[in-house]
Structure 1
Amino acid sequence: MAGSTGPGRSMSAALLALLLAGVTGPASAVSEQGTWMLTVDSESVKSPNPFFFTKTLFNNSIISLKVVSQNCSVSPPVLLKVSWYLRNSHCYKEIFNRDAKPNYFKNYFKSEEVQLKGGSGYFVFHEYPTFDCSSDKNLDVFSVEKFDQKKHLKEIQQTATVTEKTPGRRRRRRRSPDLPKPKPNASGNSSKQAAVFPHSDAVAQTWEDGPYMFLLSIEDLNKNRPADAAWSLQMRISMKGPHDYISASEWPLMVFYMVMCIVYVLLAVLWLVLSACYWRDLLRIQFWIGGVIFLGMLEKAVYYAEYQSLRYEGFSVQGAVVFAEVLSAVKRTLARVLVIIASLGYGIVKPRLGALMHRVVGVGLLYLIFSVIEGILRVNAADADVVLLAAIPLALLDSALCWWIFVSLAQTMKLLKLRRNVVKLSLYRHFTNTLIFAVIASVIFIVWATKTITLSVCQADWRELWINDAFWRFLFSTILLVIMFLWRPSANNQRYAFSPLVDEDSEEEEKEPMMNEAFEGMKMRGAKAETNGSAKAGKVDEDLKWVEENIPSSMADVALPPLLDSDEEIVTTKFEMSKME
């Protein structure tokens, strides 16, 4: 097997590289705000585009619009024409369109038709009387006594088709525009809806769970206003639901981080107790595991605190978000370094890594730099192309690290086979099988996410978006849990520690010194002298035969042999075999 080369090895390498590329996972999106501060002045209203705000909202969420401050003491008086447009859609990508052009939302303002196949829904349009900004001192001029009635969007196609399945509703046939519209359901939104008592600045109320767009148009009626007659108006737009300001798509993610934070706290306490009980026999790799657990606990706590701030304040603190991304990058870097040194056999097969340690540190620093850059660019909502440009080298480096991990695991397991160390070999078999399972699970999830999220034109299942971010963190936590179980502190720690290879012939002589002394000077009958060459060759054959007969094969043996064909590994294997001779 060591001498196999050619297309077979290249195909195996390409296939494994493709599988390993899936463990990086897609980048998570920026959190949705719940509160916006909008500054409107004489320059901003010259743009024909309306101000737009998008968010996934729960049913019965309140949308508020309030004037916070105004500076309109100019001549001639500032007369504004204010109107807003609220629309929901059953297609997530229609509201959150990453490829949207500058005039994308302008085409939706006052629209009464479905513009994307499957994007059926409702809309509400409200227009206020002329607003005199210079004389009116009432800051709640935009509040309404009763919410406007929603109107059904007109379908583009007249033929009845089956809508996409939405959670909690059965498939039904769409009604063509010429048929009578359905009556409002029990959730409200009829023309005789009750007045808004607890929300003095409320302007609208949502009618179902889903993504919404809120478009605000402010137009100065004086088109020929002189340049020195500048005015400004600051407004506050908020969207608050049953769980305060957090969006409907991120509420499950906040609960997930809360649960994971509790789990990491319990894991940290358990690891600390075990380490304290067996502190005399701790291995070096167990300190690395403790560091990864601590960083994971801190990371989950910071993300949970960020979502809590988003829930109660309506916006995230920029510095806290950047700190969370940097902390996440440090944790992921340390986790990959942990898996690399474990696969290299540090402290178990090798007492030290030597020159390999410089390579491990260099690769870890490179991954940390790429990860921090990608996270900061994603948080600051930079251009999508720039974020993608930063994510590509990170994914390539992650794939290279995974390749290195599997190659090192294969070499370590082969050395343990030659040394007949069944205990350590069993540990590495479980560890390798876990990583292979993680790769397979990653590939399956990527295929599912690509089909339902990336390639979907409508993406009606927006409630499953949180899984796209939670899956990768849950998968890493599962791998960490397996590593904790395999390398847990115990009274038998030293059986996994590195021990130098002992010459078996000298060991047998030490066990039977009395027998050698008793028959010293006597010629043993039946004993036949053998040459050194034949004795060594026979011993090597017996060793390899013992390995084949006593050590069963596993999934790792089936998946990893194509990785053992490098010349360096062949030399290392021959060197280990020479030790046993």
Structure 2
Amino acid sequence: MPDTHRLCLLLFALVFRPGTAAELSVWSVDINSTRYAVFRKTLYANTTIFMKFQGDTASCDRNLAFNIRWYLRSSVCYNEVFNTPDNKAIKMFGMDHMLKDGWSGFYSQGYMYFDNCSSLFLPKVYYTDFNTYQPLTSPKSDPSNQSLVWPDKPDISAVSKSWEDSPYLFIVNVLPTLRGVEDEDMGAEQFNFAFTMKVEMKGPHDYSSPADWPLMMFFMIMCIVYVLFGALWLFWCACYWRDLLRIQFWIGAVIILGMLEKAVFYSEYQSIRYKGDYVQGAVIFAELLSALKRSLARILVIIVSLGYGIVK
């Protein structure tokens, strides 16, 4: 009976799997008629946000200029950042106050002007200094004049930096205008323009976020644990090879599936760390492995619990 208890505990341990979705750190957005783009991510402090523009100058009119504005906002409320629809998030563009009393956060904003598409696609240093960031004020309080300045200088294509570990909302507004025309809306729809805006957020752990980095460490440790489990199980099977039952082989299959599952998830978070994106097929494969492992483990738990004459 004690052996049965140990077997049940082992199988229940193999069932556990804290699945979650990894956060992207690199986005490519096609800009044609789209005026606003909203990005959400949890960031470490001192994470740099880069903006790059790619496209063909033949697709833009030479008289068309671009005024690109951005707005970066942090919040202590996760739902304010990740559960706010884009149409409502856009309304927060340029907002200098909190949505509710008792919350806290900071904001920073800036703009960039490009005379034409050739200037837009050219890599350059946008700012001589990072724009200051200010604390969000309460709707009932007076605006704060406190500004915090970054000591370091921006790199090529860098627009801003995060100031604390927090969920962030990053909104970009692309406004095409005719050079020499003061009315911002005049004539913009008469021209065909198309380019790709690439946004990257790179911090102390490359592209990993505070939500992804601990999970990557967890999957790495669990992969090592499953390898040790597999080696120990093979040793036991070699020692008692005369008394092996068919269920022992199925338990070995569960351990192998668990090892593969953790390895694939670890590679997914490694891809997020170094590339900012992951392979969709690998994620699907890892989820299928996880479902197969948990199903098989639970079936074995039921078989062991019912007995069927296999428990010694």
TM-score by length of structure 2 reads 0.85
Q: Equivalences for 1:126-525 in 2 at 5 Å?
A: 126-129=110-113, 131-136=114-119, 139-141=122-124, 143-158=126-141, 177=142, 181=146, 189-190=148-149, 193-196=151-154, 199-222=155-178, 223-225=186-188, 229-348=191-310, 496=312
Contact (CA 8 Å) 1:84, 1:217: kept in 2 or not? yes
Q: State the Cα deviation string for residues 473-517 of structure 1 (Å, max 9, x = none).
A: xxxxxxxxxxxxxxxxxxxxxxx0xxxxxxxxxxxxxxxxxxxxx
1:276 and 1:113, CA in 2 relative to 1: closer, same or farther beyond 3 A? same
Contact (CA 8 Å) 2:68, 2:172: kept in 1 or not? yes
> Counterpart amino acid of 1:127?
Y
Contact (CA 8 Å) 2:126, 2:158: kept in 1 or not? yes
> Counterpart amino acid of 1:96?
F
Aligned length: 291
Partner in structure 2 of residue 101 of structure 1: 85
Contact (CA 8 Å) 2:53, 2:120: kept in 1 or not? no
1:71 and 1:39, CA in 2 relative to 1: closer, same or farther beyond 3 A? farther
Extract unaligned runs of 5+ from structure 1: 1-23, 159-176, 350-495, 497-581
Question: More strand by proportion, 1 or 2?
Answer: 2
Q: 1:73: Cα distance to partner? A: 4.6
- Partner Cα distance (2:58, 2:125) in 1: 17
- Partner Cα distance (1:218, 1:180) in 2: 28
> Counterpart amino acid of 1:51?
A
> Counterpart amino acid of 1:201?
S
- Partner Cα distance (2:189, 2:78) in 1: 43
- Partner Cα distance (1:292, 1:194) in 2: 51
- Partner Cα distance (2:70, 2:58) in 1: 21
Q: State the Cα deviation string for residues 259-311 of structure 1 (Å, max 9, x = none).
A: 11111100000001110121111122212211111111111111001000010
Contact (CA 8 Å) 1:72, 1:231: kept in 2 or not? no
Partner in structure 1 of residue 5 of structure 2: none
Structure whose CA Rg is larger: 1
> Counterpart amino acid of 1:80?
F
- Partner Cα distance (2:72, 2:144) in 1: 24
Determine if the alignment matches structure 1 residue 39 to structure 2 residue 30.
Answer: yes
Partner in structure 2 of residue 413 of structure 1: none
Determine if the alignment matches structure 1 residue 59 to structure 2 residue 45.
Answer: yes
Contact (CA 8 Å) 1:83, 1:126: kept in 2 or not? yes
Secondary structure (helix, strand or coil) at the match of 1:312 reads helix
Contact (CA 8 Å) 1:265, 1:297: kept in 2 or not? yes
1:261 and 1:207, CA in 2 relative to 1: closer, same or farther beyond 3 A? same
Secondary structure (helix, strand or coil) at the match of 2:296 reads helix
1:226 and 1:207, CA in 2 relative to 1: closer, same or farther beyond 3 A? closer
Q: State the Cα deviation string for residues 362-403 of structure 1 (Å, max 9, x = none).
A: xxxxxxxxxxxxxxxxxxxxxxxxxxxxxxxxxxxxxxxxxx
TM-score by length of structure 1 reads 0.47
Q: 1:30: Cα distance to partner? A: 2.5
1:313 and 1:120, CA in 2 relative to 1: closer, same or farther beyond 3 A? same
- Partner Cα distance (1:27, 1:297) in 2: 15
- Partner Cα distance (1:230, 1:250) in 2: 39
- Partner Cα distance (2:17, 2:243) in 1: 40
Contact (CA 8 Å) 2:208, 2:272: kept in 1 or not? yes
Question: Which of the numbers 85, 104, 115 marks the counterpart of 1:120?
Answer: 104
1:296 and 1:206, CA in 2 relative to 1: closer, same or farther beyond 3 A? same
Contact (CA 8 Å) 1:91, 1:118: kept in 2 or not? no
Q: State the Cα deviation string for residues 56-113 of structure 1 (Å, max 9, x = none).
A: 111111100112333455446222221000111111111111xx33411112100001
Identity %: 43
Q: Which runs of 4+ in 1 moved over 6 A?
A: 24-27
1:75 and 1:300, CA in 2 relative to 1: closer, same or farther beyond 3 A? closer
- Partner Cα distance (2:209, 2:149) in 1: 25
1:34 and 1:269, CA in 2 relative to 1: closer, same or farther beyond 3 A? same
Question: Which of the numbers 64, 80, 85 marks the counterpart of 2:71?
Answer: 85
- Partner Cα distance (1:104, 1:27) in 2: 31
> Counterpart amino acid of 1:234?
T
Secondary structure (helix, strand or coil) at the match of 2:294 reads helix
Secondary structure (helix, strand or coil) at the match of 1:103 reads helix
Extract unaligned runs of 5+ from structure 2: 1-14, 179-185
Secondary structure (helix, strand or coil) at the match of 1:104 reads helix
- Partner Cα distance (1:102, 1:180) in 2: 29
